[in-house]
Homo-oligomer: A and B are copies of this chain.
Amino acid sequence: MNSYPRPLAKLIAELSRLPGIGGKTAQRLAFHIVSMSDEEAFSMADAITVAKKELVYCSVCGNLTDSDPCAICSDPSRDRSVVCVVETPKDVAAIERMKEFRGLYHVLHGVISPMDGVGPDDINLRSLIVRLQGSGEVSEIIVATNPNIEGEATAMYAAGLIRPSGIRVTRIAHGIPVGGDLDYTDDETLSRAITGRRDL
């Protein structure tokens, strides 16, 4: 790689620090960036700087935002009685894309994972309890952490913290995805699908 001129080698090194971008891909992207017009390249560099400078975490829900409180928390048309608890801002975006949920969010920025040394105080969970105590409007918490060991443990822990306040705590349904095939579904998912069966 030492045959590259220094600015190109530096750009390749920077790009290969991105997740899922290996040396070969970083090289391809770097050559593409150099071949772009000045305007396009500077616009990309600018987008990185601006995003990093302007985006903050919402002081209410912890979502990524360029205005605090975020657009969702400050939207008067949202249903303030339901709060959906998710792991990351990406999950908020996924649920928002669906355009069906009209409640608020709370972003944990992680899950409880003793194996990785992440305890309940290392995620944005206490602030949810403080938020619930302060508002009095919330009647339901939907825990939408991922259906894996850490996500389940976090859901259980959060439910234990919230229940004493009398607020209803629900968990999103796990089962066979729409369009899925029973025959190809793993045992655990199938077991959840049967346990979570509903009256027709």
Residues of A whose CB lies within 8 Å of any CB of B are 1, 3-8, 10-11, 13-15, 17-21, 25, 27-34, 36, 38, 40-52, 54-55, 64-67, 70-71, 88-90, 92-93, 96-97
Q: Which chain B positions have C-beta within 8 A of A31?
A: 64, 88-90
Min CB distance A181 to B, Å, is 23
- Copies of this chain present: 2
A21 vs B17: C-alpha distance when bound (angstroms) = 15
A8 vs B58: C-alpha distance when bound (angstroms) = 14
Min CB distance A24 to B, Å, is 10
Assess whether A3 is in contact with B64, with CB atoms less than 8 Å apart.
no
A30 vs B45: C-alpha distance when bound (angstroms) = 12
Q: Which of B21, B34, B54, B96 contacts A7 (CB 8 A)?
A: B54
A33 vs B44: C-alpha distance when bound (angstroms) = 12
Q: Which chain B positions have C-beta within 8 A of A33?
A: 18, 48, 51-52
Q: Which chain B positions have C-beta within 8 A of A47?
A: 7, 10-11, 13-15
Assess whether B52 is in contact with A97, with CB atoms less than 8 Å apart.
no
Most chain B beta carbons < 10 A, residue from A1, A4, A6, A15? A4
Assess whether B52 is in contact with A38, with CB atoms less than 8 Å apart.
yes
Residue of B nearest to A50 (CB): B7
Min CB distance A138 to B, Å, is 21
Assess whether B70 is in contact with A51, with CB atoms less than 8 Å apart.
no
Min CB distance A149 to B, Å, is 23
Assess whether B89 is in contact with A55, with CB atoms less than 8 Å apart.
no
Assess whether A66 is in contact with B25, with CB atoms less than 8 Å apart.
no
Q: Which of B17, B40, B50, B97 contacts A3 (CB 8 A)?
A: B97
A1 vs B7: C-alpha distance when bound (angstroms) = 34
